[in-house]
Amino acid sequence: MLSRWFDKRIRYLFVMPALIFVVVMMAFPILYTFRLSFTKWSMSATRPPVWIALGNYVSLLFNDPRFWGAVGRTFAFTLVAVAVETVLGVIIALVLNRETRGQNFIKTLFLLPMIATPVAVGMVWLLMFEPSIGVINYLLGALGLPQGLWLASPSQALASLIMVDVWQWTPMITLIVLAGLASLPREPFEAAIVDGASRLQTVFHITLPLIKPTVVAAVILRTIDAFKTYDIIYTMTQGGPGFATETLNIYSFVLGFQYFQMGKASALLMVFFALVLGLAIILNWLKKPLAV
C-alpha cells in the first residue's frame, strides 16, 4: 500500500531534497528580506520590527544621495571591469590558442589569480598600492614615471579596484574562450587559407563570429559576478576614501551591520535583487539573436 503510494509519486520524491534546499536556503531568505524591507528593525530582541510600508523605499530612492552614488559606482565598476576583461581575455585566448610548447603551463599560470582567495588578494594589493611604501609606486618612481595615490585618492580609488578585478578575473574569460576555440570546426579556417585570407582577416571574419556565443556567455557570467563584488572592496577601502568606492553591496552591509537599519538594508537588497534580475533578463534577451 505504502510502496504503491511511493511508486506513484517517485518523480516528486526524488526532487524533494533539491527542492527543499532551494526553498530553505534561497526562497525563504529572499521572502524574509522582502518582508523585512517594509519594516523598521534594529535587530533588537525586545523590540519587534515595526511596519512602515514603503517608508524604506521612499527614503532610499528619494532622500538618499549615498544610494544613488552607490548605484552609479556599481554600474561604472561593472561596465568598465567587464569591458576590459572581455577585450583582454579574448586577445589572450587568441594568442594562447596557437600550438606552442608549454601551453598547458601557461594556462595553469593564468588560473592562479582566479583561485586565490579574494580577501588575501585584497590585502596583498592593499600593500602594493600603498603610496609611500608600496611596490607599485616604488617601481614607477624607479622608472621615472609619475606616482599615484591609488586607493587613497577619491578619484583613483575606483579605477584601482577595477585594476585588481581585471587582474583576478580576466583569466576566467580567457579560459572560457579557449574552451570555445578548441571546439571550433577546422573547415572554415582551411577554406580561408585556400582563399588567401590574412591572419587578421581570419580572426575578424571567422574566429570572432564563431566564438561569439561563447564570449557572450562569459560576459553574462562575469557581469553578474562583477555586479556583486564585495570582498576586494571591503578589504581594500571599505567604501572609502569618503564614499568614493561605496557600491550597493558595501552600502547595504554598512546599513545593516553598522547602522543597525535592517529594514532599510533589506529594502536596498530588494532593489539590488531587482537590478541583478533585470540585468540577467536583458543579457539573456540580447543573447538570443546572437546564438548561432
Partner 1 sequence: MKRLLTALMVIAILVAMSFSVLAAEQPFKGTTLRIVLSNHPWTDAIRPLLSEFEEATGIRLQVESLFEDQLSQKLLVEFASGTSTIDVFMQRPLQEAKQFQENGWYTDLRPFAEADQDIDLDDFFPSALLAETVEGVLTGIPIVTEQEIIYYRKDLFEQAGISVPTTMEEFEAAAAHFHDPENSFFGFVSRGQRAAAVTQFSSFLYSFGGNFDVDGVATLNTPESIEAFTYYGDMLRNYGPPGVLNMSWPQALAIFAQGNAAMYTDASVFYSNMLDPEQSDVGELVGFAQFPAGRAGSRPYSVVSWGISMAQTSKNKEAAWEFIKWATGKEITLAAQAGQVPSARTSAWENPEGVKSFPAQLVEVIMASSEGSMPYDRPNVIGVGEARDVVGTVIVTAIEGGDVAAAANKANRDYQAILDREK
What do you get for the CA distance between the two ends of the chain, in Å? 52
Binding map of partner 1 across residues 257-286, x = CB under 8 A, - = no contact: xxxx--------------------------
- Write the DSSP assignment of 130-177 as a string of letters: -TTT-HHHHHHHHTTPPP--GGGSTTTHHHHHHHHHHHHHHHHHHHHH
**Measured between alpha carbons, how far is 94 from 74 in angstroms, rounded to an integer?**
30
**Measured between alpha carbons, how far is 201 from 163 in angstroms, rounded to an integer?**
31
Binder of partner 1 out of 52, 55, 83, 130 (CB under 8 A): 130
Binder of partner 1 out of 237, 249, 252, 266 (CB under 8 A): 237
Q: Which residues pair with 39 in a beta bridge?
A: 51
CB of 242 to partner 1, least distance (A): 4
Name the packing angle between helices 65-96 and 103-115 (round to 10°): 170
CB of 48 to partner 1, least distance (A): 12
Q: Which three cell numbers stand for residue 103?
A: 601551453
162 binds partner 1 (CB under 8 A): no
CB of 5 to partner 1, least distance (A): 37
**Measured between alpha carbons, how far is 272 from 266 in angstroms, rounded to an integer?**
10
- Applying CB under 8 A, the span of 71-79, 163-171, 196-204, 240-248 interacting with partner 1 comes to 240-248
Binder of partner 1 out of 157, 158, 166, 216 (CB under 8 A): 157
Could you give the 3-state DSSP secondary structure of residue 70? Answer: helix
**Measured between alpha carbons, how far is 197 from 202 in angstroms, rounded to an integer?**
6
Number of CB atoms found within 10 A of residue 171's CB: 23
131 binds partner 1 (CB under 8 A): yes
User: Under 8 Å CB-to-CB from 227, ≥6 apart: which residues?
Assistant: 74, 78, 275, 276, 279
Site for partner 1 in 241-260 (CB under 8 A): 241-243, 254, 257-260
Binder of partner 1 out of 203, 240, 279, 283 (CB under 8 A): 240
Q: Which residues pair with 178 in a beta bridge?
A: none
- Applying CB under 8 A, the span of 9-17, 201-209, 222-230, 234-242 interacting with partner 1 comes to 234-242
- Applying CB under 8 A, the span of 68-76, 101-109, 124-132, 162-170 interacting with partner 1 comes to 124-132
Binding map of partner 1 across residues 81-120, x = CB under 8 A, - = no contact: ----------------------------------------
- Applying CB under 8 A, the span of 76-84, 129-137, 172-180, 200-208 interacting with partner 1 comes to 129-137
Contact residues for partner 1, defined by CB under 8 A: 42-47, 130-133, 149-154, 157, 237-238, 240-243, 254, 257-260
